[in-house]
Structure 1
């Protein structure tokens, strides 16, 4: 009863209801909320503190800033939000303001990539078969994927593809600009309530062991200084029997890509990845090649009940 009463008291205030309604459509930072509601940061910070303490919002640090989002699985919060009238003029005005701000943030992030000369759409830059890659990833995973983590989520495309199959979908990326683009994508497609993103280091994921049923890394490892360590950390947060999906460049001899696109690795062989997966307690279950100007590899592995390291490969290559 104490928890229910605390949450009801926290929600029973106009500004805090508006904040909850906004965050139901996607994560927002304090400065965004100030712009939408037209209130001062100290005032909104007090409201946010109460909502976080009551368990109605989660605070996700991101550099010097922090984003606020709805926690998963709070039935009382779902009931409260369901009772808010969709046609309320004030809530409708808040939604319009939030959409405008999200569009501005996404445009600024895109402009920053163009200005700084970073080619963030690598699939297009390398002329990779994006549609075939997406089809292969969807075919490799089950119809229901449970809790999903997308490491190096970029613009959030994989979250968009898996949102309908997942109980929850979370993407992490080190780039704040990428996260801004991902948030805008998810909001535009009405997925912000079921798919979230946050800033994180792939070598030190801020999650407990066995937190996810599926972990994906798409076009990430060829940039990694230490792919083996990244795979081991991804395996750590997988449940026993969970699936680790790796999609990346197969080994190639296009050495000019190393300098032009800042690649650290010229793709990967099946043997390399099998050894790293085995060291992380995973067994290879599926290997595919997706043809194109550069061959793309898809490697699907399963987390074993206990990590074991053997002298023999876990997958017959």
Structure 2
């Protein structure tokens, strides 16, 4: 009863309800909410604190920036979904909020696309060395299967493409990356496609920002070759898997393209199957499937491990 009353009091105010509706369309920074709501930062921050204390929203600090999003807690999601059934989105206040939020997100998208364009040549050079991304993604989908309602973690999410690919199977999908620039790209892509079950945040593969035994699926897509300690990243991921959860790694088979190390910061020039399965065994997960994709200068390997 106390939890319900706290939740009702937090949501039962005009500005706070407007904030919940805005965050229902995607995460926003404090400054963006101030701009949309046309209220002072201390006042908006007070509303955000009350919503956060009630467990309706989550606060995410990334350096000097603070993002807010709707909470993934089951009771919070149920309450918000129920409340939204009675919200008149055509009302003057909410319609104005939506226009302002759409403008902010469009500006964010343009900045992200500019960064993406500036770096596209580098990424395209690497992609030209192996089979098409469509073939890789088809193999990934087949390896994961059709089960829905998954709690997914994408490590080194980059542009957020894996989140987009698996969003139809996800109850909740989180992407982490150490690059704020790439997170900006991912946020803009997810917002543009209205994938509200997908979120991104700053995070380290060696210290995942998730609870142990909490994820149905963890993905490392073309990221482990950047790792100083890939075995440590695998062990950390294994701890975060639920029983019968899957860890899928997409990377290169061993190769000799030294320019990838020199020009693209690759720490490892691919991984041997024996090496990868040895790390998995030490992390108490077992290999259940390995698939090789030939068709270019480099061979792509998909490893599937289960707890």
- The TM-score normalised by the length of structure 2 is 0.93
Q: Does 2:158 align with 1:154?
A: yes
Q: Does 2:306 align with 1:302?
A: yes
Report the Cα offset of residue 114 of structure 1: 5.7
Quote the Cα distance in structure 2 between the aligned partners of 1:48 and 1:124. 44
Counterpart of 1:81 (choices 75, 79, 84) is 84
Counterpart of 1:272 (choices 259, 271, 275) is 275
1:119–1:125 contact (8 Å) kept in structure 2: no
* Secondary structure of the corresponding residue to residue 191 of structure 1: coil
Specify the alignment match of 1:41 in structure 2. Answer: 41
Q: Does 2:172 align with 1:171?
A: no
Provide the alpha-carbon RMSD of the alignment.
Answer: 1.7
- Which structure 1 residue ranges, 5 or more long, are not aligned? 304-317
Q: Does 2:127 align with 1:126?
A: yes
Q: Against the structure 1 CA distance between its residues 104 and 124, is the aligned structure 2 distance closer, same or farther, given a 3 Å change threshold?
A: farther
Quote the Cα distance in structure 1 between the aligned partners of 2:125 and 2:157. 16
Q: Which shows bigger deviation, 89-98 or 178-187?
A: 89-98
Quote the Cα distance in structure 2 between the aligned partners of 1:225 and 1:58. 31
Report the Cα offset of residue 107 of structure 1: 2.5
Report the Cα offset of residue 104 of structure 1: 1.6
2:116–2:185 contact (8 Å) kept in structure 1: no
- Which structure 2 residue ranges, 5 or more long, are not aligned? none
Runs of 4+ in 1 over 6 A off after TM superposition: none
Specify the alignment match of 2:284 in structure 1. Answer: 281
Specify the alignment match of 2:59 in structure 1. Answer: 59
Quote the Cα distance in structure 2 between the aligned partners of 1:187 and 1:110. 13
Specify the alignment match of 2:184 in structure 1. Answer: 180
Quote the Cα distance in structure 1 between the aligned partners of 2:127 and 2:162. 18
Q: Which string of whole-angstrom CA distances, capped at 9 and with x for unpartnered residues, describes residues 191-242 of structure 1? A: 12x1111111110112221010111110000111111111111111001211
Count of residues in correspondence between the two structures:
300
Q: Which string of whole-angstrom CA distances, capped at 9 and with x for unpartnered residues, describes residues 83-113 of structure 1? A: 1113223212222221221222232234346
Quote the Cα distance in structure 1 between the aligned partners of 2:218 and 2:262. 29
Specify the alignment match of 1:242 in structure 2. Answer: 245
Quote the Cα distance in structure 1 between the aligned partners of 2:26 and 2:13. 20
Q: Does 2:203 align with 1:200?
A: yes
1:246–1:298 contact (8 Å) kept in structure 2: yes
Report the Cα offset of residue 276 of structure 1: 1.0
2:153–2:174 contact (8 Å) kept in structure 1: yes
Quote the Cα distance in structure 2 between the aligned partners of 1:297 and 1:143. 21
